[in-house]
Amino acid sequence: MTSELRLTVEEVPPGRLPSWIYEHAVNQARESILSPTFDRILYIHPNQASRVEMLDFIESKVPAFDRSLHHTINSLTIQIGMNLNLKSRMENDSIISELIHIMTAEAATKLRFPVLHPIEDRVWSRSKTEALFKLHKTLTEEDAIADSEQYTQAKEFRKILVDISNKLGRTHPDIFTASVIDELTKDDIETPFFFEGIKGLLLLNHDPGLSNLNITLLRSLLRFLPIHQITNSGSYRLGEHGLQIEDIFPITDQEQMPDWIPLHSLVNEPAKPNIEHYALEMEKQTMFAVSNICEIAKEENPDASILIVDPDWKSRALGWRRCIESVSSLVSPELEIAEKKHIMRPFSTLISLANGMKSFSVEKIRQVSNDGLFERILISESHPSNPNLTPKCHLDLLEEHARNHHITGGQGAIREWLESISLSKESSKDAHHWEELQWWLANLFRSLYPMLPKWDREYLDNQDCVIGCTTGKELPLTVKSDNGKKWLDGFFRSLTATQPEIITLEQDGEIKQNTQDLKTRIQEFETLSSRLNLQVQNVGPLWVETLLRIIEIDNSHPLQISNPKLRILSPKEALGCTADHVIITHLSSTSWPMRPSMVPLLSSDELYKFKSTNPESPVLSARHFWHHLIHSGNKISVIRAKDSDISAPSSLILEEWLDDESSPESKDFPDSVLQSSPRERLRADGKKLIEGEKATKKPLSPLAPYSKISRELFLDMQYRMPILAGEDGYLSEDSLHKLIQTPLLRYTEIKETKSEKYGLKNPRYNNRWPVVGAATRRIDEKGKEIIIVTPSIEPCPITPWKSGIEQHDSRHGHTNISIQRKYWSPSRLMNWRGCP
């Protein structure tokens, strides 16, 4: 029987799966323990979240059942590998990645990667290993590496992965699926034991962007089991249809249905979704709106399930935690971050003190002092002359010394610190503190001897002793470690023997556990390095870089929510999931980009050729996710930012949905909901004041509203300033109070003949004060009207006219405060003397 005959496709409406799928899963689970009277079907879910949702639904009906009949493609691959007695799949953690980097660097010295590394004496950078990782993973998922004569770089890298897999007795994840496929396609293979008693495989709605490697795996399974594929109704070309293993038509009547599938009616038309569309002024207001929607949903139905969809939720994990905590009816999530590992962060800070352009800078040394880890491992003898002196970091003196001697860190910083601080400080009021700081720094530099670059190690080797800057006595220093292994042994020995002064029993147990975890990871790396016969450098910055890599903490899943009725997922993770209320958020192009992944060493033609790197692939997947999400709940809330928010331009999927005639009109959230933070309330009040509305509360400063309109008010007063003169050719007395700025001063005197001719007097002979010139109209000898601007005498000080706004008037001299000057300054006298 051909693979096409063993593969059937059934189209269902997007969103919630048909009821027969749930009913059969429950009945199958109920009978799985007692007697398998039902045809056993292997369910393949699109992701782990949808699998857990199905298992939770079954558990609500059947408390105990066989869960091995529900898998994702990844978990099924692992299960099949176990049945085929293949080597187990290793975890691709930081230790394995570092070992592969070391093996790749060794291979590069033998010119096995001539394109990336044409000269054997060059240093192999870590970015080249990462580039090979990405290239090999892409070609493997495209199933394009095995039979091609191209991609020699990726083939050489695969040899390294195979080598490390053989030596460690476990298979690397990047080649595990390919090894399973190779085993399944052998001619003499028997049916895996796991497939015994299973009538068929039910492949639920999957992403159209599923890798070619996984599609090849599904095709290889057709040899052992028939597959009934569930897809969505909709356009295959646009991506709405979902994954299609083979290009075959979906079944159209009951006669085409496989006999192992429960009888059911075919449904293709989707129900009209209940969508609420909200448009916000700014995307950052989204979480306030979500918390309000969740609160209303829980008030209406306390048992309602809520699914929040955010394409980039991991980068906003802390914000989502605050959002959930603001809803009293929801259980607060647990945020697992690196800071919970008390020993990891200070350990990383300590060993990286000598790394980078800012090595031994005052900022880094301050951080080491604040962590307190170095003090716990510091073992020093007493001072030779003053037992009250101990090695101690005085941060105020440290910062003062770095500022006075311009120590910014980097190469040669150790020499700058020790030589400058060793100068005599006997006359200083903090003389003893200076010597304690000097002693502490000298011990710090010596204790980090294995981490230092070659020039710093040579400097410390040539330094016989350190003389106290105050007492003049030789200071006892800690013993240097020759290499990293000895340093780590001494570090863990000292750390185990001491503990912080103020600590609870629970904290002490947690610190000991974290210390043991750190020690275990380092020992595991050393053991695996020995099994692989790798020569790992154990001194200098490269050793520190390796150490930092192997103790990296994986924070790929930082948000853990203990409430089963609430989930926060990305669109890809939410495929196949449903809820009573689905809230779709952060639909900007920055949060949900449609850019294809860039792969090094591949040309543009090759990027277009492959499925995962084709520009159309992420768009097809996004359309499929969106097609599912807007039908996945009893109520759907779509929250987006308006076009006025230039920081969050709409994604392609959102623009297509907004252009669709069936999309509902947007609604606005009330300002009271979006003003959950003081900043948002102030922003809303400012907007109201601009629009002439009354604010909700008085501003913090009485000058705040005026600062917004001060410019407009001054321009208005400037436009109202009189410019036409009175009968005598100068500004009239009635208009002087509207003067707000000094007029143009022209000290050219008017000729007597002209003054008599036009009836204008010299401003010095005017009968009133101040004399402010203005434009006046006169008739010349030819009978034409001319405009003469009369000169002014400096009229300062000018007091602008009252506007009636207290804040403005008080700034321009309209107060009851009188200034009585007893003496004039020399500069004021000179100004008065030069006044015309």
pLDDT of 365 reads: 94
Q: Which residues 6+ apart lie within 8 Å of 660 measured at CB?
A: none
Q: What share of the chain is helix, strand, coil (3-state, %, to 5)?
A: 45, 10, 45
pLDDT in tens, 160-215: 999 999 999 999 999 999 999 999 999 888 889 889 889 999 999 999 999 999 99
Measured between alpha carbons, how far is 354 from 360 in angstroms, rounded to an integer? 6
Q: What is the mean pLDDT of residues 385-401?
A: 91
The tokens 């853990």 sit on which residue? 560
Q: Do residues 308 and 585 lie in contact, with contact meaning Cβ atoms separated by under 8 Å?
A: yes
- Assess if residue 66 is contained within a domain: yes
Q: Do residues 795 and 703 lie in contact, with contact meaning Cβ atoms separated by under 8 Å?
A: no
Alpha helices in 339-394 (DSSP H): 344-351, 362-371, 373-377
pLDDT of 147 reads: 60
The tokens 């005026």 sit on which residue? 706
Pairing of strands 334-335, 70-72: unpaired
pLDDT in tens, 598-631: 888 888 888 888 888 899 999 999 999 999 999 9
pLDDT of 338 reads: 37
Measured between alpha carbons, how far is 198 from 69 in angstroms, rounded to an integer? 9
More confident of the two residues 782 and 305: 305
3-state secondary structure 44-101: EECCHHHHHHHHHHHHHHCCCCCHHHEEEHHHHHHHHHHHCCCCCECCCCHHHHHHHH
Angle between helices 212-221 and 173-184 (to 10 degrees): 30
Of 487, 505, 523, the residue at which a domain comes to its end is 505
CATH of the domain at 636: 3.40.50.300
pLDDT of 92 reads: 84
One domain, residues 483 and 383: yes
The tokens 């870089």 sit on which residue? 545
pLDDT of 279 reads: 92
Please count the residues of the chain.
836
Measured between alpha carbons, how far is 172 from 137 in angstroms, rounded to an integer? 11
- Assess if residue 89 is contained within a domain: no
What order do you get walking across the sheet with 227-232 strand by strand? Answer: 7-12, 227-232, 198-203, 40-45, 70-72
One domain, residues 634 and 777: no
Residue 705 — very low, low, confident or very high, per pLDDT cuts 50/70/90? low
CATH of the domain at 36: 3.40.50
One domain, residues 364 and 438: yes
One domain, residues 79 and 211: yes
Of 167, 197, 227, the residue at which a domain comes to its end is 167
One domain, residues 231 and 211: yes
Is residue 199 classed exposed, middle or buried when 0-12, 13-18 and 19+ CB atoms within 10 A define those classes? middle
Q: What is the mean pLDDT of residues 491-516?
A: 70
Residue 10 — very low, low, confident or very high, per pLDDT cuts 50/70/90? very high
What distance, in Å, lies between the first and last C-alpha atoms of the chain? 113
Is pLDDT above 90 for 130?
yes
Q: What is the mean pLDDT of residues 355-379?
A: 90
| Structure token pair of residue 333 | 């999530």
pLDDT in tens, 774-823: 777 777 767 777 777 777 776 776 767 777 777 777 777 777 777 666 66
Q: Do residues 514 and 344 lie in contact, with contact meaning Cβ atoms separated by under 8 Å?
A: yes
One domain, residues 132 and 27: no
HSE (side-chain half, CA atoms, 13 Å) at 564: 10
Q: What is the mean pLDDT of residues 438-458?
A: 93
pLDDT of 506 reads: 54
- Assess if residue 552 is contained within a domain: no
Measured between alpha carbons, how far is 79 from 75 in angstroms, rounded to an integer? 6
Q: Do residues 11 and 233 lie in contact, with contact meaning Cβ atoms separated by under 8 Å?
A: yes
* Dihedral sign from CA coordinates of 723, 727, 729, 731: negative
pLDDT of 747 reads: 46
More confident of the two residues 289 and 762: 289
| Structure token pair of residue 811 | 């700034």
- Assess if residue 801 is contained within a domain: yes
One domain, residues 574 and 616: yes
pLDDT of 503 reads: 52
Distance of CA 581 to the CA centre of its chain: 27
Measured between alpha carbons, how far is 308 from 739 in angstroms, rounded to an integer? 62
Share of the chain above pLDDT 70, in %: 87
Is pLDDT above 50 for 690?
yes
One domain, residues 107 and 77: no
Provide the 10 A C-beta neighbour count for residue 220.
17
Q: What is the mean pLDDT of residues 281-304?
A: 90
3-state secondary structure 537-560: CCCCHHHHHHHHHHCCCCCCCCEE
One domain, residues 133 and 205: no
Of 505, 525, 542, the residue at which a domain comes to its end is 505
pLDDT of 788 reads: 75
The boundaries of the domain holding residue 32 are 7-84+189-256
Q: Collapse the DSSP code of 91 into the 3-class scheme (helix H, G, I; strand E, B; otherwise coil) and give the result.
A: coil
The tokens 């052992």 sit on which residue? 224
In terms of average pLDDT, the best of 29-38, 118-127, 796-805 is 118-127
DSSP class of residue 571? Answer: T
Measured between alpha carbons, how far is 463 from 473 in angstroms, rounded to an integer? 15
Q: Do residues 399 and 442 lie in contact, with contact meaning Cβ atoms separated by under 8 Å?
A: no
| Structure token pair of residue 200 | 């068929």
Measured between alpha carbons, how far is 182 from 217 in angstroms, rounded to an integer? 9
- Assess if residue 471 is contained within a domain: yes
The tokens 């979902």 sit on which residue? 242
Question: 107 — alpha (psi -120 to 50), left (phi > 0) or beta?
Answer: alpha
- Assess if residue 457 is contained within a domain: yes
Measured between alpha carbons, how far is 231 from 227 in angstroms, rounded to an integer? 12
Measured between alpha carbons, how far is 589 from 555 in angstroms, rounded to an integer? 24
Provide the 10 A C-beta neighbour count for residue 621.
21
pLDDT in tens, 216-255: 999 999 999 999 999 998 888 899 999 999 989 999 888 8
Which among 662, 597, 672, 608 has a CA at the least distance from the CA of 636? Answer: 662
Share of the chain above pLDDT 90, in %: 46
Q: What is the mean pLDDT of residues 734-755?
A: 62
- Assess if residue 131 is contained within a domain: yes
In terms of average pLDDT, the best of 353-367, 492-506, 542-556 is 353-367
| Count of the separate structural domains present in the chain | 6
Helix (H) or strand (E) holding 227: strand 227-232
Q: How far is CA 276 from CA 34, 43, 231, 581, 664, in A?
A: 46, 33, 26, 11, 7
Q: Do residues 9 and 206 lie in contact, with contact meaning Cβ atoms separated by under 8 Å?
A: no
Q: What is the mean pLDDT of residues 40-44?
A: 94
Measured between alpha carbons, how far is 225 from 191 in angstroms, rounded to an integer? 9
pLDDT of 364 reads: 94
pLDDT of 339 reads: 42
More confident of the two residues 440 and 789: 440
One domain, residues 351 and 491: yes
What's the whole-model pTM score?
0.77
- Assess if residue 516 is contained within a domain: no
Measured between alpha carbons, how far is 523 from 685 in angstroms, rounded to an integer? 60
Is pLDDT above 80 for 637?
yes
The vertex-302 CA angle with 299 and 308, nearest 5°, equals 85
Q: Collapse the DSSP code of 382 into the 3-class scheme (helix H, G, I; strand E, B; otherwise coil) and give the result.
A: coil
| Structure token pair of residue 583 | 């809230």
One domain, residues 629 and 660: yes
Is residue 791 classed exposed, middle or buried when 0-12, 13-18 and 19+ CB atoms within 10 A define those classes? buried
Alpha helices in 378-504 (DSSP H): 395-404, 413-421, 431-447, 454-461, 484-497
One domain, residues 745 and 677: no
pLDDT of 672 reads: 65
Q: Do residues 204 and 230 lie in contact, with contact meaning Cβ atoms separated by under 8 Å?
A: yes
Q: What does pLDDT average to over the chain?
A: 85
Helix (H) or strand (E) holding 778: strand 775-779
DSSP per-residue string spanning 154-205: HHHHHHHHHHHHHHHTSB-HHHHHHHHHHHHT-TTPPPPGGGTTEEEEEE--
Which among 563, 569, 560 has a CA at the least distance from the CA of 334? Answer: 560
